[in-house]
Structure 1
């Protein structure tokens, strides 16, 4: 039986990758890919660019020009928010510093300089995210055959010696704050939504995408299988959860059921005593999508009322509701392992890092419950 060929101009390299070589008007071109199908697709795209006069050869392509190719190659493979963050980092930091440089001429010292300049005004984790993006782009340039080695390969990330997440932005309300907050929240349209978040620990995007069919009264569960996020163009859409572990079921207790009952009654008043199973559980007062900003505005107004009632409260956003739920859960004897699944964390270490500050407060109570006979 004759050996199956890959096609004219295609070959499999020793490193396992595929390569296509061809000549146009005496000039040699090549593309590389991990699979034959991807290599053939890149081959066709390159030929079309050359035909239209749009191709920029490897020796002359700038970082700005390569960013457009890198961005296009990632389209559909990363979530909208991820793409938006990458666009922001490139537009505000990477492009102004490196955009006009030819990729083949870039040097390690330029990337180190960018890192040092950013470190003067940003925290290490933010700087590291930007440099990681530069590294990703240059690694892709190596894979595309533009470079033989990335000049950023030996650039080390900055050490982040700041406080742990549990000691910084992950702030939970005290019991006093929580009680007054819930009381003064009543005038807000998003009263039930915010209480729902406080009782379940869900994110705003998750709460905004829940429909009544996700509320499973038979199995006493709320199914979190979607979330609201933004596309690469900045538009809001409903899609898969933040991560695989974010797709989860949350058991309902009486407090959650009361909040849902109140919300259903509110919707019946608005929609004429009819609530559809595919209808969102929570919606804006105009019947449209719920956004983070409007929820945070309701929280901000409530904080103002708390201060008017004599309780000076540090500003917080909707994420504090998730932290408050987790803190009360642990304080009242809940298992960190179970909390991990309710919050949709990918690891127990993540849960412990965020909420370990609560555990010392429960040690005495738990020790008092241990009975050892002797």
Structure 2
């Protein structure tokens, strides 16, 4: 029977290596596998786990496993039941579009810091935004941290790479008051089926998916609030589905004003609805009651912009998220307190609100500077 460096007898199948660590050997149906650990107890545990996996056909040889195989295992076994389905879908997409081609076929145990660095550099050269590369890094980090815990790698290579320096942040597109009025004017004049959607987006700052997922049951006339309790998402192979809002703080109540109520009533009239029979019906939907996709919303925004341009008016393109930016900007301009704005927008922290939406239009900044000029007059 083998003994350790102190002369103590070791359990059958375990030996101490020259570097002081321990090796255990597992044999099932003629296949032999070695496991390693810093203590005998750790090795005994790994022997039991490995034997179970080999006997049940779920053992993966860590020497041969590719990063692609491990990523799929990590997603299925460690993330699928711990995060929202939309998050899993997002991880899949980031892997598919930004990671797989570069790292997928490499052996997991062979991944080094320079491989991660090369990936970052290539993405940067391809014009991928630094914010996207940071998410790629976060996905890689979570995946490799679990591989380290599982003993599949000896060192996590992700922290060894350096993220590229962020460029000048592009300012979010915010409609001026004239632009928002013009856009709604054209949407209404051209009988857009999303005119009321656009109007409510500007009045509430709700996210695209939150508005598309809004149901009549969420309109609380007694408490005069809109309950934001779901969002519509799309997943390839699954289609549109309902999910909980983006974060815990995104589940919120937005004060319901009379003009917002009127917008909702106008939408009912647009489809010829005199009274609500099904409270589970989406407020905004296709003519056949099917939910609206994100692409449909953007397509209708682009259609209205094209109509404006046809009349010789220069109008810069924007996405549906521009309504949210515009609402927040108008709110700040009107003197809304940041803490109140944070709650209405459903942000988790006040700093997030201020970082994203504290910008104001040039005319407003000039007015603010003029207002305090008296404090610095020289007698």
TM-score scaled by length of structure 1: 0.80
1:337 aligns to what?
339
2:19 aligns to what?
none
1:211 aligns to what?
215
- Unaligned 5+ segments in structure 1 are 1-19, 33-39
1:138 aligns to what?
144
Residue 104, structure 1, aligned to residue 109, structure 2: yes
2:96 aligns to what?
91
CA displacement at 1:233 relative to structure 2: 4.6
1-structure distance, mates of 2:276, 2:113? 64
CA displacement at 1:49 relative to structure 2: 5.5
From 65, 68, 80, the counterpart of 1:64: 68
2-structure distance, mates of 1:217, 1:303? 34
2-structure distance, mates of 1:145, 1:233? 34
Please give the per-residue CA displacement for 1:94-120, whole angstroms capped at 9, x wherever unaligned.
Answer: 222222221112222222222222221
1:259 aligns to what?
263
1:244 aligns to what?
248
1-structure distance, mates of 2:66, 2:72? 10
- The residue matched to 1:277 in structure 2 has which SS? coil
Residue 154, structure 1, aligned to residue 154, structure 2: no
CA displacement at 1:29 relative to structure 2: 6.6
Output aligned runs, 1:181-200, within 5 Å.
181-186=183-188, 187-200=191-204
- Unaligned 5+ segments in structure 2 are 1-23, 38-44
1:174 aligns to what?
176
Q: For the structure 1 residues 318 and 243, does the alpha-carbon distance in structure 2 shift closer, same or farther, using more than 3 Å as the test? A: same
TM-score scaled by length of structure 2: 0.79
2-structure distance, mates of 1:21, 1:206? 55
2:41 aligns to what?
none
Output aligned runs, 1:1-374, within 5 Å.
24-25=28-29, 27-28=32-33, 50-51=54-55, 53=57, 55-73=59-77, 74-121=79-126, 122-163=128-169, 167-168=170-171, 170-186=172-188, 187-231=191-235, 233-267=237-271, 269=272, 273-358=275-360, 360=365, 363=368
Q: For the structure 1 residues 22 and 318, does the alpha-carbon distance in structure 2 shift closer, same or farther, using more than 3 Å as the test? A: same
2-structure distance, mates of 1:317, 1:83? 25
CA displacement at 1:231 relative to structure 2: 4.4
2:9 aligns to what?
none
Alignment coverage as a number of residue pairs: 335
- The residue matched to 1:310 in structure 2 has which SS? coil
CA displacement at 1:365 relative to structure 2: 8.2
Contact persistence 1:83–1:232 (CA under 8 A): no
Q: For the structure 1 residues 181 and 128, does the alpha-carbon distance in structure 2 shift closer, same or farther, using more than 3 Å as the test? A: same
The structure that has the greater radius of gyration is: 2
1:7 aligns to what?
none
